[in-house]
């Protein structure tokens, strides 16, 4: 199965006491009947818990940790509930709101997404349902669906809109970007626009359409060096599996879910080119050890770039909600292995990435529906990809989407942003954001400095395909 990134419903009407616009069109500005102080407003939302945290006053922001009570099943709102974690960066009631969906865990520390900096916006950052601790108890995994998650975000928008009078923009990176698109598909009027970074769409479990990417990315010499490196690692199997076992023992990592250290090692080799391009760049090509390298040199490079802890039980457990979603609706890529098939011994052994006693069947209609909506009814969508990122091979297709754009940053990886686009593409993207939000953007230098006192946005979680 895939080890890759991860992404409904009839939302409830506005919870009592919140007021607001049931049509979700964002019109009319803030509700004058609600308190002017953001803390007082938040404390008045039924089901919301609030904790204001200290933040550098020079940022101009106030920072809050929030939890919001959500139905596990939005079709059964009186049933099991859970507390969904969020953070809020608040700067001004009339400023835009950036709805930042993580797709995974929430970040506890304050950070500013690129759009937040661009717009001088408020930022609401939301943890994905079923990632601990935002998990119902008992957990009915059949409710981890994109439509249910979209309904989570819909209720949050309805609860917060009465306070804020500016435009709303949804955004996220990787699975977070995917999640922002899913939300928009089910509730197209919740936000004014969606900016999705490095967000792919897959149509199979696995999806073989990603494989041709590895025949064209970078130079032939680099691609050949990577293939030779994989082959050499597998040719020294006994030595390398022993090192994998030692790596686990030294770091408190077990590999039971991956068919032991041998299976985890094989998976790490099969997927090495994916991780190499997802977060590396062409400059790494010169550092690939040759087949004549010592085993120490081969292994050191593997540890440096292979993200080996990701193949351990502990990290798999952390990302089980993603693996479940990948098997249920999202799909995931396959990797090319023809050059090493003769050396693989464990790839036919099933990996254990599911919750206990849970099985799932892939539903291809889910992503087909999302793509169909984007290309036929989508509007005010902006997709950003990195040219060297394997996920760009799964880019959305705009089709007939209105007032929408897709740009690729040449040579960039899974961290691509608007700032990385060519000058012409960046100008078009920024013009669209200005038009969609009604906010005149500051100069590039001022945008970069606007939240210099806050930590930069963390990179998306490193998630790659698994067999």
DSSP-derived secondary structure for 297-359: HHHHHHHHHS-GGGGSHHHHHHTHHHHHHIIIII--B----TTTGGG-SSTTSPP--SPTT--
Residues 288 and 423 in one domain: no
| Any domain includes 86 | yes
Task: Please give the structure tokens belonging to residue 383.
Answer: 């997709």
pLDDT at 452: 38
Task: Please give the structure tokens belonging to residue 237.
Answer: 């199997």
Residues 329 and 380 in one domain: no
| Any domain includes 13 | no
| Any domain includes 27 | no
| H/E element, 101 | strand 97-101
108 vs 65, 206, 250, CA distance in Å? 8, 33, 28
DSSP H helical ranges for 122-259: 146-160, 175-186, 220-235, 237-251
Task: Please give the structure tokens belonging to residue 270.
Answer: 């099969």
Residues 189 and 46 in one domain: yes
Residues 164 and 43 in one domain: yes
What are φ and ψ of residue 84, in 5° steps?
Answer: -95, 125
Residues 164 and 265 in one domain: no
pLDDT at 28: 53
Residues 249 and 323 in one domain: yes
pLDDT at 449: 34
* CB half-sphere exposure, 93, CA atoms < 13 A: 15
Residues 126 and 225 in one domain: no
| Any domain includes 173 | yes
Please tell me the total number of residues recorded for the chain in this structure.
467
340: left (phi over 0), alpha (psi -120 to 50) or beta: alpha
| Any domain includes 464 | no
pLDDT at 442: 59
The residue range of the domain holding 223 is 208-343
Residues 236 and 373 in one domain: no
| Any domain includes 91 | yes
Q: How far apart are CA 339 and CA 335, in angstroms?
A: 11
Closest alpha carbon to 380 in 197, 202, 153, 184: 184
Scan for tokens 């990315």, then name that residue: 217
What are φ and ψ of residue 200, in 5° steps?
Answer: -90, 170
Q: Give me the CATH number covering residue 139.
A: 3.40.50.1820
| Spatial contact of 460 and 176, defined as CB atoms under 8 Å apart | yes
pLDDT tens, the chain, 467 aa long: 544 433 222 222 222 223 334 344 444 567 788 899 999 999 999 999 999 999 988 889 999 999 999 999 999 999 999 999 999 999 999 999 999 999 999 999 999 999 999 999 999 999 999 999 999 999 999 999 999 999 999 999 999 999 999 999 999 999 999 999 999 999 999 999 999 999 999 999 999 999 999 999 999 999 999 999 999 999 999 999 999 999 999 999 999 999 999 999 999 999 999 999 999 889 999 999 999 999 999 999 999 999 999 999 999 999 999 999 999 999 999 999 999 999 999 999 989 999 999 999 999 999 999 999 999 999 999 999 999 999 999 999 999 999 999 999 999 999 999 999 999 999 999 999 999 999 988 544 334 334 433 444 444 444 444 43
Q: How far apart are CA 386 and CA 230, in angstroms?
A: 24
Residues 55 and 197 in one domain: yes
pLDDT at 10: 24
Count up the domains in the chain and report the number: 2
Residue 152 neighbours by CB distance under 10 Å? 25
DSSP H helical ranges for 79-174: 114-119, 146-160
Q: Which residues contact 91 (CB under 8 A, 6 or more apart)?
A: 60, 61, 62, 120, 121, 122
Closest alpha carbon to 243 in 310, 291, 297: 297
Residues 171 and 269 in one domain: no
Residue 435 neighbours by CB distance under 10 Å? 13
Task: Please give the structure tokens belonging to residue 333.
Answer: 């890529």
Whether the predicted model's global pTM rises above the 0.85 cut? yes
Please state at what angle helix 295-305 crosses helix 220-235, rounded to 10 degrees.
120
Residues 102 and 148 in one domain: yes
Q: How far apart are CA 151 and CA 154, in angstroms?
A: 5
| Any domain includes 9 | no
| Any domain includes 30 | no
Residues 192 and 212 in one domain: no
């Amino acid at each position: 199965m895939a080890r890759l990134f991860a992404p409904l419903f009839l939302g409830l009407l506005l919870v009592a006491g919140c007021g607001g616009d049931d049509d979700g069109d964002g019109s009319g500005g803030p509700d004058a009947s609600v308190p002017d102080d953001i803390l007082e407003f938040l404390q008045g939302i039924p089901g919301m818990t609030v904790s204001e945290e200290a933040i550098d006053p020079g940022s101009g922001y106030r920072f809050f940790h929030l939890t919001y009570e959500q139905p596990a099943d939005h079709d059964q709102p009186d049933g099991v509930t859970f507390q969904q974690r969020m953070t809020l960066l608040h700067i001004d009631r009339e400023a835009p709101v950036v709805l930042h969906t993580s797709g995974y865990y929430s970040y506890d520390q304050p950070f500013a997404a690129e759009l937040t900096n661009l717009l001088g916006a408020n930022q609401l950052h939301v943890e994905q349902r079923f990632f601990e601790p935002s998990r119902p108890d008992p957990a009915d995994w059949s409710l981890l669906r994109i439509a249910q998650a979209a309904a989570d975000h819909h209720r949050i928008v309805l609860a917060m809109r009465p306070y804020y009078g500016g435009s709303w923009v949804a955004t996220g990176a990787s699975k977070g970007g995917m999640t922002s698109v899913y939300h928009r598909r089910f509730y197209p009027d919740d936000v004014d626009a969606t900016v999705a970074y490095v967000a792919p769409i897959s149509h199979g479990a696995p999806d073989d359409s990603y494989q041709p990417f590895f025949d064209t990315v970078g130079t032939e010499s680099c691609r050949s060096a990577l293939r030779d490196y994989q082959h050499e690692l597998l040719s020294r199997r006994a030595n390398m599996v022993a090192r994998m076992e030692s790596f686990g023992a030294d770091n408190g990592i077990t590999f039971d879910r991956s068919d032991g250290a041998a299976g985890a090692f094989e998976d790490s080799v099969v997927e090495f080119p994916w991780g190499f391009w997802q977060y590396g760049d062409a400059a790494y090509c010169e550092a690939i050890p040759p087949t004549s390298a010592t085993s120490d040199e081969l292994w050191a490079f593997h540890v440096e770039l292979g993200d080996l802890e990701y193949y351990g039980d502990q990290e798999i457990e952390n990302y089980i909600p993603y693996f479940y979603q990948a098997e249920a609706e999202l799909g995931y890529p396959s990797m090319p292995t023809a050059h090493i098939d003769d050396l693989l011994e464990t790839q036919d052994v099933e990996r254990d990435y599911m919750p206990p006693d849970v099985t799932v069947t892939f539903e291809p209609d889910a992503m087909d529906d999302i793509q169909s909506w984007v290309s036929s009814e989508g509007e005010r969508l902006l997709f950003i990809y990195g040219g060297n990122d394997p996920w760009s091979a799964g880019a959305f297709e705009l089709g007939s989407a209105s007032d929408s754009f897709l740009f690729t940053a040449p040579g960039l990886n899974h961290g691509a942003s608007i700032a990385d686009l060519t000058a012409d593409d960046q100008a078009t993207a920024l013009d669209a954001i200005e038009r969609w939000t009604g906010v005149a953007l500051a100069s590039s230098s001022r945008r970069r400095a606007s939240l210099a006192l806050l930590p930069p946005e963390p990179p998306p979680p490193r998630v790659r395909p698994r067999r």
